[in-house]
Amino acid sequence: MPKPKRKLTAAEKRARRERKKKYMTIFVGGKQKRVPRPPEIEGMPVDEFIARNADPIWLHQNEMWELMSSEYQDEQDGVNGPEGEESP
């Protein structure tokens, strides 16, 4: 008769929960691999969090011009006017 499984101790459960938070399991070549989870802020990826919450000044200071919204760029185009034309 097989040996019955024992219950995990509180420390083992805690270690397992922390390990699950820190790593995720993926399949590579038909085998399971444990890799670190991508960083998240408030449950969303860091890039998405920055895109939603950063203001244009912060984006400019950190050289993230591709994340600046088109509305902000349209405002800037309207103030300076397109090249070769005068603004009203």
pLDDT tier, 34 (very low <50, low <70, confident <90, very high otherwise): very high
**Residue pair 45/51 in contact by the 8 Å Cβ criterion:** no
* Distance in angstroms (rounded) separating the CA atoms of residues 6 and 19: 20
* Distance in angstroms (rounded) separating the CA atoms of residues 27 and 32: 5
**Which residues, 6 or more positions from 41, have their beta carbon under 8 angstroms from its beta carbon?**
49
* Residues 19-41, mean pLDDT to the nearest whole number: 93
Q: Tell me: the pLDDT tens digits for 54-80?
A: 888 888 888 888 877 655 555 566 555
Q: Which residue has the higher pLDDT, 30 or 74?
A: 30
pLDDT at 12: 96
SS3 26: strand
What is the pTM for the complete model shown?
0.50
* Distance in angstroms (rounded) separating the CA atoms of residues 55 and 20: 34
pLDDT at 53: 85
